[in-house]
Amino acid sequence: MQRGVWHLGRDLLGGLMAVLGAMAPMAMRGQGSPAIIWQQTLDSDRINTLRFTADGSQLITGSSDRLIYFWNAANGTPLRNWDNSAPDVHDSSVECLALNPAGTVLATVNYQQLKLWSGPGGNVRVINADTDWDVWCDFSADGTMVATASFDTYIKVWRVSDGALLDTFTSDALQRAVAFSPNGQWMASADGEGVITVRRVSDWAVIATLTAHTADVYVLKFSPDSTMIGSGGYDKTCRIWSTATWSLRYTFSNPNGNVYALAFSPDSQTLAYSEGENNRIRLAHTSNGSIYGTYDQNVDNVQCMAFSPQGALAYGRVDATVVVAKVGGTTGNPPPPPSPFISLAGYYYGALASSPLSAVGSGRVGLTVGPNGGFQGSFRFGMAIQYINGYLASDGSYSGTISRSGQSPLRVSLQLDMSGSSQAMTGSVTDGSMTANLEADLLVWDATKNPAPFSGNYTAWIQPDTSQPNSPQGYGYMAVWIDPSGTVTYFGQLADGQYFSSASLLNRDLTWPFYFSTPLGHEVALGSLSVSDGQMSGGITWFRDPLDTANFPGGFSAQASFSGSPFLAAQPGKQTLRFGSAPRNVSLAVGGADISSPMYFDGVILSNGWFSGTTPASQPRQFSLYLGPYGGIKGSFINSTTGQWTSYIGVVLQNQNAAAGAFISSGRAGYVQVSPAQ
């Protein structure tokens, strides 16, 4: 296939636009050769495509001679072809290759075909994808999908596990490139008319159309932090677009050569691009659009490029040469000072809460801040999720809006603590009538380098608010697991019968935000819970709107206490609680709901975990209790008020050497308490 063909009429128009349009500042003098680490010329034709593995240890290249090479990225030693049985792994030129995030599947495209290679032996699945040249491919962020771009005007999305076609998109022009954003939210494609189309991955809706290019877009990539798109093509320009506003940020003109290749540095602060026929590689600051490096030696007709995770630049040339080099320099404008966000980059997670607290004003926030101040993430109010991305100002502030279909926009204010002392972000979200304040902390735990303290299993109670008798008077239960990475996974049941299951993150002060909402937001519970050696504690604000339901139709508001304990499963023949050897080794209490007066009684916990009563006259009829080996308790009794069987469920707290649970009767909640006899 012939590459590098351009349209004469469009090239003239592109040159005129370059003169008239606002262009980024350029450095026109060359500074020689990049610092070459190694170069190899084993192929017999043009290098069209290359990728580093995720750890940067290997470089993979594909060329017009149909070969796929694996190289030692450090010294250029050729390691292998993936296909061990034959050197010719394609029927025609390898146009593009992509590696899934896990590094287990390699996708390649050529004339009409997509190939998915897996395993050390290069096992391959061949998909007859299109009726013309397939020229680009890319994996989704989760690795489950791969997209292809073809000259037959189609963008196609395939399932990696079985090669099934999931979706097809077309336009009036041939398709040149396709790319998924690293944050998993978007897929962008570029065509022969210079149009870039951005789709939302969740539903494939078109959310942006970028139209500044005046000829074919040849290359298209997202920045590693997903805050930018880089594009280049036959209009002799390279462009940087903002994903926060879907608008053009910077344009770099090149009157003497098409832009065939570009790459973002791992920290997203540098864009490298090639001027093909002009035999140049230029380096641009993504923060201000200035060119700070230009190379004019050993860079002839560069067709593809990629940065390693360690910052080395690999590029492939028309003369079949693969080069890995160190790049940098100060041609033209000097590099800006180090970004103040480098030490503050990471994932910030926390809670949203309005005052007074409301369902529409409570939720969770998670934001990833990049080393250049770009950020992306989401706010969750109830079951509604609102996505946001943008750039923090140099003082750590941000002010912007989130548009919502059929609703007023959300106005967002953020402030990152630039001193780093709190490792926190604060701010607010408002729709004009509700204002939710937010506080999010930087995730500091790492399972290997900085494991979270007090990891392990816990059980917990959500205790009743006895000052609010109309609220549930039973004990909700929770099972919690903190892993070494700081992820807090929890599930349980509130005393009014609402089940919940979710995850949170442990902050550096050893607190974690708890949040629950019913799908429509009529019931919400949230709080800041803490963990220390031997216990969990905290408070939970819990409210429910009046609803036409059998249980709690008038709604309620409560401030519930939270208590938790580390938990170890019982060994065979042992109990989860410590009971004495007396004939009556356990005391119980049942009350609340429609039971007029609490009932106190005792008995014995047998070796099999079941309760045997010793004072039948003082206990509910047919009362049963079972202490399971994994921390749960359950049982039932005949309610003397209703005459109905009533069941309950709860958990043990081993540090407190007690158990408690809840039951529902007559639309209200009561409690069951279990403790060793004194």
| Residue pLDDT, tens place only, 304-355 | 999 999 899 999 999 999 999 998 743 333 444 567 887 898 899 999 988 7
Domain 8-326 matching CATH 3.40.190.10: the answer reads no
Q: CA 410: distance to chain centroid? A: 22
Predicted confidence (pLDDT) per residue in 561-577, tens digit: 999 999 999 888 888 99
Looking at residue 197, its pLDDT comes to 96
Looking at residue 664, its pLDDT comes to 97
Which residue is it, tokens 């170069």?
39
CATH classification code of 456-566: 2.40.128.30
Residue 344: phi and psi, rounded to 5, are: -105, -5
CA angle 173, 174, 177 (to 5 degrees): 120
| Ranges in the chain, pLDDT < 50 | 1-30, 84, 120, 329-336
Question: Rounded to whole angstroms, how far apart are CA atoms 243 and 346?
Answer: 19
| Nearest alpha-carbon partner for 529 in 519, 516, 540 | 540
How crowded is residue 332: how many other Cβ atoms within 10 Å of its Cβ? 19
Q: Do domains 456-566 and 586-676 have the same CATH topology?
A: yes
CATH of 586-676, one of 2.40.10, 1.10.287, 2.40.128, 3.30.1330: 2.40.128
> By CB neighbour count within 10 A (0-12 exposed, 13-18 middle, 19+ buried), where does 419 fall?
exposed
> Residue 131: what residue type?
T
Looking at residue 253, its pLDDT comes to 86
Looking at residue 356, its pLDDT comes to 78
Which fold does the domain 345-438 belong to in CATH?
A: Lipocalin (2.40.128)
Q: Is the backbone of residue 54 left (phi > 0), alpha (psi -120 to 50) or beta? A: alpha
| Nearest alpha-carbon partner for 179 in 240, 244, 226 | 226
Q: Where are the domains of the chain?
A: 8-326, 345-438, 456-566, 586-676
Looking at residue 89, its pLDDT comes to 65
Looking at residue 122, its pLDDT comes to 59
Looking at residue 112, its pLDDT comes to 82
